[in-house]
């Protein structure tokens, strides 16, 4: 009588000797056409101090300004005949947050502490065109656009000096919004990382001007005095407040191709 160990040994020998009828899946861009993706970017920003430099008095000196933007994006992509890829996603873009930076008078005395942030939420569509496709890697250039929903918030914590010098204004917040169209383009390189997951590196430029903003709240400001919801945001010289979040960026993304053979 054959013991249990013998049966196990026999089963292993049979399994090894029997030819396999299944084949390991080999990744090839020609066979991949649908994927989800995650993408992040970071880069310099032209925004500078435009969000607040003309909002807090004609001679106020600020301690900092916006130097860069960063973003995150999630979505799906569809490939056509290993030549063109269309990706559609939702992107969140933010400037460098400024927390309680000082706004000083010419004598160096604090007038207020300012917290400023700009946030953009936008659906984006991008077309990629392959330049040098290979089974497991490819170079491509890309171009696309987005519908931007922009929020700009400036919170002013006034000091006694600031209240005295700037017309008796106390603490207030500018809560504003704008809508626009953005554009982006550049070059990228995508390569297989593992199984059906690839990694993509991108270098590009984002065009995102914001020529006009409107208040979301009723408030009394330094630059305009009393305003109501829907009023155009103006600077102390009566010009329209505007932003420019354009600039070059680098991107890193991960793409998860759907395996329809399983």
139-158 tens-digit pLDDT: 999 999 999 999 999 999 99
User: What residue spans define the domains of the chain?
Assistant: 26-257
User: Which pLDDT tens digit goes with each residue over 206-245?
Assistant: 999 999 999 999 999 999 999 999 999 999 999 999 999 9
Q: Select the highest-mean-pLDDT range: 1-5, 20-24, 39-43, 129-133.
A: 39-43
Domain 26-257 in CATH 3.40.50.2000: no
Residue (of 182, 188, 192, 197) closest to 250 by Cα position: 188
Phi, psi of 160 (to 5 degrees): -60, -40
pTM of the model: 0.83
> Quick one: pLDDT band at residue 10, thresholds 50, 70, 90?
very low
Q: What mean pLDDT, rounded, does the chain reach?
A: 89
- Checking 62-66 for CB contacts under 8 A at 24+ apart, the result is 62/101, 62/102, 62/103, 62/104, 62/114, 63/101, 63/102, 63/103, 63/104, 64/98, 64/101, 65/98, 66/95, 66/96, 66/98, 66/116, 66/118
Non-local (6+) Cβ contacts of 129 within 8 A are 83, 84, 140, 141, 142
**pLDDT tens digit string along 172-181?**
999 999 999 9
Structure tokens at 147: 């519908």
Tell me, what's the pLDDT at 164?
94
Supply the pLDDT for residue 41.
97
């Amino acid at each position: 009588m054959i013991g249990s160990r013998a049966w196990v040994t026999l089963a292993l020998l049979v399994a090894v000797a029997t030819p396999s009828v299944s084949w390991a899946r080999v990744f090839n861009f020609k066979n991949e056409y649908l994927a989800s993706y995650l993408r992040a970017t970071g880069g310099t920003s032209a925004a500078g101090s435009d969000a607040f430099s003309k909002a807090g008095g004609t001679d106020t000196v600020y301690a900092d300004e916006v130097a860069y933007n960063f973003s995150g994006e999630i979505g799906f992509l569809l490939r056509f005949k290993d030549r063109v890829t269309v990706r559609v996603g939702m992107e969140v873009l933010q400037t460098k947050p400024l927390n309680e930076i000082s706004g000083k008078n010419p004598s160096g005395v604090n007038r207020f502490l300012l917290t400023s942030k700009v946030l953009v939420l936008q659906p984006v569509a991008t077309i990629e065109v392959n330049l040098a496709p290979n089974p497991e890697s490819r170079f491509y250039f890309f171009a696309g656009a987005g519908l931007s929903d922009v929020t700009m918030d400036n919170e002013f914590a006034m000091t006694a000096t600031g209240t005295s010098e700037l017309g008796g204004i106390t603490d207030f917040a500018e809560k504003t919004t704008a809508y626009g169209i953005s554009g982006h383009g550049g070059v990228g390189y995508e390569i297989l990382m593992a199984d059906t997951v690839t990694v993509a590196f991108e270098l590009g430029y984002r065009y995102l001007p914001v020529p006009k903003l409107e208040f979301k709240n009723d408030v009394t400001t330094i630059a305009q005095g009393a305003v109501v919801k829907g009023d155009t945001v103006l600077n102390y010289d009566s010009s329209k407040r505007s932003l420019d979040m354009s600039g070059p960026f680098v991107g890193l993304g991960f793409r998860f191709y759907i395996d329809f053979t399983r």
